[in-house]
Each structure stands twice: as structure tokens, then as C-alpha cells.
Amino acid sequence: MYQSTIKKSVELIGIGLHKGSPVKLRIEPLESNSGIVFYRSDVDVAIPLIPENVVDTKMATVIGKDGFVISTIEHMLSAVYAYGIDNLKIIVDADEVPVMDGSSASFCMLLDEAELVELDQPKKIMRIKKDVIIQEGEKYVKLSPSENLKYDFTIKFPHPVIKQQEYTLHFTKQSYKEEISRARTFGFLHEVQYLRSKGLALGGSLENAVVLDDKKVLNAEGLRYSDEFVRHKILDAIGDMSLIGMNFIGNYEAMAGSHDLNHKLTLELLENPENYEVIELVDEKTMELEKAYA
């Protein structure tokens, strides 16, 4: 199994969640061992996708370099990671990735349009060797060894529509597209009003998020899945875990996980080389993995 990139450059335009202004996003192929690199064309700054470049995790995963940032990268990265893409240049002309419909479905369609192509170097995979956990009170995120890739997420909200939700994704590219990619980000009306008073979430609307008041979902079309909320948390987690720099094999488990906890988990994982091993996929044992990303 070899590293991959895209066959051709493609682009889209969407609204930025926080500024509410149009953002052009373009993706371009990169050579083997280049990794995922973000580039802000408006200020001529490249920001490699590494944990050290994460500068904020309160509302979204934000990377930065030399004082310039790119926000809300996790939905785009979720799709890139689910497609098993190793090398890619992601270009935006503003300080955030467009939110599209609040899910990763638009980015999946963009990648389908770009088409994937194999490169000349073996694909590298991180195999989780030891349990790694970040816990804060009842909340935790955890990685553990496994021969497969599974995301197991639980959330609890004191809201009549959400309550407690649990979902397990047995990962393949196809299961991701069918079960996860269309799950939208969500928020509460009082939070949206507060954020807008601070000059944030100016692009947020019922077109790109599930919004709830104290009792119900405000979107006229309702939910895409009855448990759309926890599915979106898995979507976010997949994007956040891409910061380790490659696909991994192991189980991810979370109770009320967040961007912040996910970031701390990537740092904790990478801090000790005994937690993992990096393997090159060059033999017949990779057939199951190749099926996962087919």
C-alpha cells in the first residue's frame, strides 16, 4: 500500500463560520512524505499540520504560525483523514476554512472530484501499542491497541432532544461516508447569541448547523440522524486525530470528548515513543487496510 495524494487541483467557495465572509478553498497535490500543509494565500504563510502548530482548541481546532491562524480545520481534515490521503496542500484566502453545511460531506465530494492517486513511497501507519488516556473529571479520551480502527463516543447533555447518545463507528471509508460525513455541527441558541455579541459565529445559521433552543431543534428539516449529535462528535474526533501526522490503527474512545482533550491526547501519544510504532505498509498484510480506504 502506497502513499496517496489527489490527481488534480479543485476548489470551492463557502462562508466562514466566524467572520461570515466568503472563503475560497483550493486543494492541490503534493509529493510523497510532504504531509498535509495548510497555506494562507492572502498572507503567503504555510502552516504544516503538526501538533506544535495548534494555537487554540476552545471553539474549534485552530493552527497558526508567525501570528497568522487558520480556524475550523477539523471538518475538512476529517474527510482527508477518512480518505487516507497522506499528502495534500490546502489553500485558503482567509483565516478559516469554509463551514459549508456544517458537516464534512462537501469536502468528501470535493475529494471525489479531485480523485485519489497513489505515489511512489510506502504508506506509513501508526500502530497504537499502549493505552493512552486524557481524563478531566468525568470526561476522557483514550487510545488503545487494536488490529482494527474503531471510534466509540458517548455524549451527555441536559437537553430533551440530546440526552445521552452513544455511537460506535467501525471505520472504513465507506462507513465514514454513510454514517458520519453528513452529521452537522450543533449549537444552542443562547450560545449563538452570545458568540455574535463577541463578533464570532457571524456566518452561523440554520443552513450550516443544527441549532436548538431549550426544548427543540429549530431547523425546519429536522435531524439527518436521530443521533446526529454524537455522530458529529466522531466526525470532529477523526479530524482532530489527523494531527498525529498519519492514519493509525487502534481504538479511540471518548466520554464527552472535545477538541481540547483530543489535542492533549495527540501530544500525550507522541511524547512517549513506547506508545506507538510507525510501520510502512509494503507487504500482503495490508490488504484489509487497503479495503478500509477503498
Cite the active site residues: 259
| Rounded Cα–Cα distance for residues 16 and 202 (Å) | 8
> Which residues are CB-neighbours of 197 under 8 A, at least 6 positions away?
none
Contact (Cβ atoms closer than 8 angstroms) between residue 38 and residue 54? no
Q: Please provide the DSSP assignment of 206-221 as one string.
A: TTSSEEE-SSSB--TT
* Joined grid coordinates for residue 109: 465530494
**Number of helices (H) and strands (E), helices first, in the chain?**
7, 18
Classify burial at 226, counting beta carbons within 10 Å of its beta carbon; exposed 0-12, middle 13-18, buried 19 or more: exposed
- Residue 39 CB-half CA count within 13 A: 14
Kindly report each contact of residues 160-167 with a partner whose C-beta sits within 8 Å and lies 24 or more positions away, as own/partner: 160/215, 160/216, 161/212, 161/215, 161/216, 161/217, 162/212, 162/229, 165/227, 165/229, 165/230, 166/230, 167/227, 167/230, 167/231, 167/234
Other Cβ atoms less than 10 A from the Cβ of 39: the count is 18
Alpha-carbon Rg for the chain, nearest whole angstrom, is 18
